[in-house]
A = this chain, B = another copy of it.
Amino acid sequence: MNRIFGSANDLTVALRVNGADGMPPASLELDCSVPWSRRKLAARQHIFHQGDEQSHVYVVKSGFVRLYSLLNNGRCQVIGFKSPGEFVAFEYGSRHRFSAQAVVATEMRSIPTAVFFAAASCDPQFLLRLYNVACEDLSRAHELVLTIAKRDAEGSIAAFMLEIDARAAARGKGDFVSLPMLRGDIANYLGLTNETVSRIFTHFKKRRLIEVRGRYGIRLLDRRTLRSIAEHVPSDRKAMDLESSYVARPMAALC
């Protein structure tokens, strides 16, 4: 988890990055002489497109954002969602590797990339943290791979709900979790179709695992069962092949 706050006078930026698992939480301050800019976006407006020059570093103030990646032929894959407090663009490189789009009306903050990195360059500790944050994102991407490749549709959706729920809980919201994205977004994200997502939502509803309110609100009623569905493996063949070789004993430290 990482958050950016504009300070009161808007001339100093405090960037806080909490520690990863097993690491003591750390808080770092990055000073730079440019204020954060604000901007409101309507639903469906893009913050940036894949391939665009990367000009700014962004953070979600309010609303909801989806990230997606395009193939050569125009198909797209949703690769993530961003809630308030989270970074939207945090890539180091000249061009954006994916697109970011507001799902609902959204408020963003930003500072120029050059300013951000110029300030960061003066602070090695901050840079190490930055690297750490990227590694976290990498872990998340690997998680997504696991979800798509090794679970059936029900497992994927159960895992998705639990993750969304956990992220919302971390931000201290109420029981109902908001899913501002469309069913089609969830489907795309998980490599399914919206029909399948819909069917499984109703199936979970009938089993009293979740409660659905309106189009965008759900509440988890039975996290235990959901977890077992997410961890259940449909087929031992596809899922595992955990032949002996994969779990061999640790070797002496390479040294």
Contacts and interface: CB of A to CB of B under 8 A. Distances in A.
Contact of A248 (B39, B46, B76, B139): B46
A115 to B, nearest CB: 11
A136 to B, nearest CB: 8
Contact of A253 (B55, B122, B124, B125): B55
Given A77-B150, A101-B245, A240-B74, A93 B22 contact: yes
How many copies of this chain does the complex contain? 2
A149 interface: yes
Contacts of A47: 251, 254
Interface of A is mostly: mixed
Interface in A148-195: 148-150, 184, 187-188, 190-194
Interface string A13-28: 0000000111100000
A173 to B, nearest CB: 26
A239 to B, nearest CB: 4
A221 interface: no
A30 interface: no
Most buried by B among A39, A93, A240: A93
Interface stretch (A2-10, A64-72, A202-210): A64-72
A135 interface: yes
A245 to B, nearest CB: 5
B250 A46 contact: yes
Contact of A41 (B91, B240, B251): B251
Given A121-B124, A121-B128, 13 more contacts: A46-B248, A46-B249, A69-B145, A75-B233, A92-B128, A92-B132, A97-B142, A127-B128, A131-B131, A134-B138, A141-B141, A150-B191, A188-B241
